Amino acid sequence: MKDIVGQLTGLERKILPLLVKQDFEALELARKTGLQEVEVLRAGQWLQNKGLVVIEREEEEIVVLDRNGKEYVEKGLPEKRFLRALNEGATTVSQVLKKGVSKEEINICIGILRKKNAVIATKEKELSFTITEEGKKILKQKSLEEKLLEKKFPLKEKDLKAEETHAVKELLKRKNILKKDKKKTFTLKATDKTKKSKELKKELSQEYEEKLTKEMLRTGSWKGKEFRAYDVKSHVPRIYPGRKHFVTEATEYIKKIWLELGFEEMTGGEAQSAFWDMDALFVPQDHPAREMQDTFYLEGKAKLPKKYLEKVKAAHETGGDTGSKGWQYKFSEEISSQVMLRTHTTVLSALTLSNLKKEDLPKKYFTVGKVYRNEALDWKHLFEFHQVEGIVVDPEGSLAKLKGYLKEFFLKMGYTDVRIRPAYFPYTEPSAEVEAYNPKKKEWVELAGAGIFRPEVTKPLLGFECPVLAWGMGMERIITAYYDIKDLREIYKNDLEQIRNAKMFIKK
Amino acid sequence: MPKINLDKERVLKLTGNKIGDEELRKTLGFLGTDVESITKNEIEVEIFPNRPDLLSEEGLGRALKSFTGKEKGLKKYSARKSDYKVIIEKSVGSVRPHTACAVVKGLKLDEKKMEDIIEIQEKLHVTYGRNRKKCAIGVYPSENIDFPVSYKALPVEKIVFRPLDSKKEMGASQILKFHDKGKEYAHLLKGKKHYPLFVDGKGSIMSMPPIINSEETGKINKKTKDVFVECSGHDFRVLSKALNMVVTALSDMGGSVYEVELVNENRKTPELIPEEMYLDKEYAESLIGRSFSDNEIIGSLERMGFGASKKGKSFKVLIPCYRTDILHQADLVEDVAIGFGYNNVGEENERPETPGKEDFREELKEKIREIISGHGLVEARNYNLSNKDFQEKYFGRGRIVGIKNYLSEEYNSLRYNILVSLLKALKVNKHHDYPQSFFELGKVFSKDSSEESGVKEEEALGVVFCGVNANFNLAKQHLDSIFSLLGLKYELVEGKDVFMIKGRCGVVKFKGRNIGFLGEISPGVLVDYDLDVPVSGFEIVLDDLFGEF
């Protein structure tokens, strides 16, 4: 008991002295202490957990005003207003409307009033009404329903008199006037233990310091004072720091891996000519990936780089000086100069190669960049996403070395068991698919694409032959795996709570 | 990539092997296909676009047979001599100028084989034939055909025949309008006044490529033993290869292939003679990264269905007539690696030391992120695509980069500034408590004819504050802090911006150049974004700052 008593919080100390004397309903207690009802209930809950207080909850049937009911409380019931309008000389519908009774309300009234013989309806040119003697009588008297609406709501059902119950029943038949509901009431009662506890009595009379102040420090008055002990387990409200988006964090994580492996970052334009995005990578001009349903094309035409155009064109048409037969078709500069949103980051690799000199080698580059596909947005398709890509430009490069790089790279990404399988990309030969063994699913799962750039790609861009090892993968799959996101759209919805609460991107 | 469903039993029979499902999955994977599933009766497999020759049970079975070592090396196919002739008339020259043809006899067709032939045809149409544009394939019961066949074009209005699956004769333009296949492929003949036809010696129309065969002479059935096969298109080499893929599969079904003379073209098809290419051993070894014995290279090539023999320091390689993907020695090297096994190629871990280096612009963006998130703001990441009408309403026509073939109006242009995205982020978060503040670092785009692509791309920073206290001063405090921590100075001068309240907007100047704006967002803009809480903020282009360090 002593421990408990010493740790009472401010709120608890406010309500407990009252409860020791008598039981209270939460609302009443709130009024007496000046606290909010939720605060009283929260403190009551804590005290109940400590065994000092019991909260009894009761559910009561109540009657509350609905949408129309609230309006009628102010303006009166529509049938009364309708009768009043007739009494004041209105006859036709349009005249009644002018008196502030709406069309909908008129429709409601007519039935009720005709049943009571309060009005007579006639139809000549226009529907018109006259009030009967009975109607005038009704107008003078307050109906049971009206009397009921004058009461203070909500009404407890158990407190209703017989005629009130009848009025409630009638009004409930009508649209949106009254609603039945349930209300919970909470009664707080101090336990016997509490009432009898001397320690508590003493405690409640004891003065504790709530807060250490500047004043106390300056004057030394803190000496000999006791500070109220806290409940260290109590809940505190969340704070939210400013923070980076989790996509940025994932990007940083991946970039760090590349940097540790000695790769240099490539950046570049997202709007590219078909020449750089496709032709330079030896993608034939009739390749399906270039079709309108796969690629976003932009308005306008790109300028073609003279220095490389002839060489790339020759590679496509005849192989040029690359030792290839080429695709053997007529290369179109028209197609080349289409502008598109880059479909892969490999375009940056092509641009990088075109700026390299032999004496710079060996070189390693990476990029993490946005790419675009002409897809309708749905749970498994994004039209904008990120690719992660690396190349190694090394005269000594080979498939065996590529395997070595892949093993090292993916080990850093957390994949201990990777293998390569044959695959196909228009710009690599050999081409490979990188797979990781998933021990849970007991199967090999696709991870990335890899390969060695074709001579038809490298020779025209570099001007000499050199193997270029390349591999790349989508970044979003790394994010969805980490955050267990099923719907890709979730990644870019920018929901404040989601970004605030997303766990940091931490991976060993 | 095309997926095909194959009869497992038939493939295994062609392979001549008994292979368990697990082993089969692995073998197919390392041969160079993606296995989707293997069930009791079926193999579902994805074929890479460079290997259309694998798009049939016969093709895949053949590849598996040599890959598993059951029958290695070049499989010989040959065409017997014959008197069959196809006369290519000049009239097709401007419509669909080329064809390659063959006759295959002695097929014992049944329901299954008939379906297979149609399946091979369809898969080749979709892939290698680029939906019949590059190549359309027709197969006919040759019993019904009188040779010589003519390949010619006739004026549209003169063409009348009964197309497949139709009860009555139709005119050519009717076929394109009403027949299912006609509707599907009409675009391939768009604007032509003459359509191509195969017509037999009696003068009856056999087909109208690339659309449809005739019901009377162009429909194979279970009783068909001999077939006439044609491929039509624009590039003879493509057609010849497609024809080879079809007739080698038919040959593997038990048929005998006969050649057809193409009158006026001075050639006979099919051309089943393997092409030769030399593979330099050193090149293969350096590209794969290990040394091989001659037999290892020859054996690997043979496992991939090539013929190979040593010639000096090189290998003479015979390329099967159905392969379309061998353009360069590098292609042979890949097949050596596949034949040898990607798993068996060792792993080389010696690599040159190079320093890692982050792009400076990215590094600076990181620093700015650090500063602003330190201010307590949350980073947003939006799409670069945005609505064009909305942007043009504010920024005018002529600046916004539009997308030609967009799928959704909401995303039919590239964003001109970041605030359009950030305001959208505020709209999305209306149900959360205020105040809210976001920043975003990203690209903004505008038309610029001096750029190679015609599009100027700049890195920009946008910041918004939203809440009852979101005002000019708040925005300025943050901008001050950023510049101060970067060790740079900016100037804010009176100015205007379409997004901002008049008199509560400043233009951000850096070294005399306008790099952005700052202020309180005008109520009209807020209404457009369905926001009912004040917003202030700023946006600056960072490109001028990068050079300062």
CATH number at residue A467: 3.30.930.10
Rounded to a whole number of angstroms, the distance from the CA of A345 to the nearest CA of chain B is: 15
CA A320 to chain centre: 54
Interface of A with B in 254-293 (CB under 8 A): 255, 258-267, 269-273, 286, 288, 292-293
Task: Name the residue facing B287 among A273, A432, A452 (closest C-beta).
Answer: A452
Tell me the CA distances in angstroms from A376 to A373, A379, A485, B499, one per residue in order: 9, 10, 19, 30
Q: Are strands B455-466 and B307-311 parallel, antiparallel or unpaired?
A: unpaired
Whether A100 is covered by a domain: the verdict is no
CB-CB under 8 Å, A421 with B342: yes
With CA atoms as reference, the chain A residue closest to B345 would be A400
Can you tell me the mean pLDDT for A125-151?
Answer: 85
State the DSSP string of B143-174: GG-PSSEEEEEEEGGG-EE-BTT-SS-EEHHH
> Structure tokens of B41?
């009766």
Choose among A315, A357, A306: nearest CA to A460: A315
Task: Examine the domain organization and report whether B104 and B210 are in the same domain.
Answer: yes
Q: Helices (DSSP H) in B202-277: which residue ranges? A: 236-252
pLDDT in tens, A66-84: 888 888 888 888 888 888 8
Query: Three-class SS of residue B79?
Result: coil
Q: Where residue A11 falls among pLDDT bands split at 50, 70, 90?
A: confident
**Mean of pLDDT values over A458-479:** 96
Q: What percent of chain B has pLDDT over 90?
A: 91
Residues A387 and A467 grouped into a single domain? yes
Based on the domain organization, do A189 and A315 belong to the same domain? no
Is A90 within the bounds of a domain? no
A283, A370 Cβ separation under 8 angstroms: no
| CATH number (domain holding residue B14) | 3.30.56.10
Same domain, A322 and A456: yes
A32 in Cβ contact with A18 (< 8 Å): yes
Residue B54 lies in a domain: yes
Q: What is the pLDDT of residues B220-265, one digit of tens each?
A: 888 899 999 999 999 999 999 999 999 999 999 999 999 999 998 8
Across the range B276-287, mean pLDDT stands at: 97
Residues 367 through 406 of chain A touching chain B, CB cutoff 8 Å: 370, 372, 374-377, 383-384, 392, 394, 396, 398-401, 403-405
One domain, residues B227 and B203: yes
B102 and B54, same structural domain? no
Can you tell me the distance from the alpha carbon of B326 to that of B337, in angstroms, rounded to the nearest whole number? Answer: 14
Q: Do both A232 and A255 map to the same domain? A: no
- Is A497's pLDDT higher than 80? yes
Q: Which residue of B has its CA nearest to A376?
A: B407
B37, B22 Cβ separation under 8 angstroms: no
Averaged over B42-64, what is the pLDDT? 93
Which pLDDT tens digit goes with each residue over B506-543?
999 999 999 999 999 999 999 999 999 999 999 999 99
> Between these two residues, B391 and A89, which has the higher pLDDT value?
B391
Same domain? B313 vs B443: no
- A488 pLDDT band, cuts 50/70/90, is very high
Greater confidence (A106 vs A450) lies with: A450
| CB < 8 Å to A384, chain B | 383-385
A145, A167 contact by CB (below 8 A): yes
The residue out of A236, A263, A285 marking a domain boundary is: A236
Tokens at residue A329, please? 């078709």
Q: Is residue B124 part of a domain?
A: yes
**Global confidence as pTM:** 0.81
Cα-based torsion angle of the residue sequence A239, A242, A246, A252 in order, rounded to the nearest 10 degrees: -130
Q: Is the peptide bond before B274 cis (omega within 30 degrees of 0)?
A: no
pLDDT tens figures, B411-448: 999 999 999 999 999 999 999 999 999 999 999 999 99
Residues B422, B500: one domain? yes
Count of structural domains, chain B: 4
From A200-209, B107-116, B234-243, the region with the lowest mean pLDDT: A200-209
- One domain, residues B195 and B258: yes
Q: How many domains does chain A have?
A: 2
Q: Tell me if the bond preceding B210 is cis, omega within 30° of 0.
A: yes
pLDDT of the residue at B320: 97
Q: Is B155 on the interface with A (CB under 8 A)?
A: no
Interchain contact, A424 vs B357, CB within 8 Å: no
- Identify whether B230 is part of a domain: yes
Mean pLDDT for all residues in chain B: 94
Q: Chain A partners of B350 at a C-beta cutoff of 8 Å?
A: 401, 404
**pLDDT above 90 (res A156):** no
Q: Band of the pLDDT at B59, cuts 50, 70, 90?
A: very high
Strands B455-466 and B535-541: antiparallel
B420 membership: H or E segment, kind and range: helix B419-428
Q: Minimal Cα–Cα distance from B329 to chain A, Å?
A: 8
Sort strands B436-447 and B378-379 into parallel, antiparallel or unpaired.
Answer: parallel
Same domain, B122 and B173: yes
Q: Quick check: is A109 in a domain?
A: no
Residues B407 and B474 in one domain: yes
Same structural domain, B409 and B489: yes
Q: By three-state DSSP, how is residue A227 classified?
A: strand
Residue A98 placed within a domain: no
Question: Does residue A199 sit in the same domain as residue A283?
Answer: no
Same domain for B428 and B479? yes
B329 closest CA partner among B292, B288, B299, B291: B288
Are residues B335 and B374 both part of a single domain?
no
Over residues B164-181, mean pLDDT: 92
Rounded to the nearest 5 degrees, what angle is found at the Cα of B363, between the Cα atoms of B360 and B365? 110
CA angle A133, A137, A140 (to 5 degrees): 140
Q: Which residues contact B313 (CB under 8 A, 6 or more apart)?
A: B280, B281, B282
Q: Where are the alpha helices (DSSP H) in A290-429?
A: 306-317, 333-336, 346-354, 399-412
Give the C-alpha separation, B177 to B187, whole Å: 11
Burial classification of residue B291, based on how many CB atoms lie within 10 Å of its CB (0-12 exposed, 13-18 middle, 19 or more buried): exposed
CATH number, residue B526 = 3.30.930.10
* Residue B62: predicted pLDDT: 95
* Residue in A245, A273, A302 nearest the CB of B381: A245
Tell me if residue B387 falls in helix, strand or coil: coil
Pairing verdict, β B33-38 and B42-47: antiparallel
Q: Is residue B26 part of a domain?
A: yes
For residue B61, being part of any structural domain is answered with: yes
Range 284-313 of B in CB contact (< 8 A) with A: 286-290
| Alpha-carbon gap, residue B42 to B62, rounded angstroms | 17
Domain range spanning residue B41? 3-67
Is the domain of A221 the same as that of A354?
no
Burial environment of residue B486 by CB neighbours within 10 A (0 to 12, 13 to 18, 19 or more): middle
Task: Report the pLDDT averaged over residues A212-225.
Answer: 92
In contact, B364 and B542? CB cutoff 8 Å? yes
- The answer, for B434 touching chain A at a CB cutoff of 8 Å, is no
User: Could you list the residue range(s) of the whole structural domain that residue A65 is in?
Assistant: 1-77+143-236
> Are A169 and A269 part of one and the same domain?
no
Dump pLDDT digits (tens) for B469-487.
999 999 999 999 999 999 9
Q: CA-to-CA distance for A166 and B30, rounded, in angstroms? A: 84
Residue B398 shares a structural domain with residue B438: yes
User: What is the ipTM, given to two decimal places?
Assistant: 0.93
Structural domain includes residue A297:
yes
| Shared-domain flag, residues A219 and A252 | no
Question: Within this chain, do residues A156 and A276 fall inside the same structural domain, yes or no?
Answer: no
